[in-house]
Amino acid sequence: MVEIFKTNVNNKRLANKVLKTLRAEMPACIFNFDLDDCDRILRAQSTGMPVEIDGIIGIVRGCCVEISLLGG
């Protein structure tokens, strides 16, 4: 399963900080940013189970980053 989020991450340093935090908290998921996209996309992929949308939003907001489910 893949979920796509819109963020306000605007540099690689912050993206790496957020990714490190997400990977530590949710090691079963694969995360990556597309900072070239106008919505500064965060993709979350999980195999075999649904992506924990609320958990991801909470973790990312804990990094002082704005985030919302794209299309949600």
Number of independent structural domains in the chain: 1
Alpha-carbon distance of 29 to 43, in angstroms, equals 10
Does residue 37 surpass a pLDDT of 80?
yes
Residue 35: which domain range?
Answer: 2-69
Q: What are phi and psi of 40, to 5 degrees?
A: 45, 65
Is residue 9 within 8 Å of residue 42, measured between CB atoms? Answer: yes
pLDDT in tens, 39-71: 999 999 998 888 999 999 999 999 999 999 997
CATH code assigned at 53? 3.30.70.100
Q: What is the chain's mean pLDDT, rounded?
A: 94
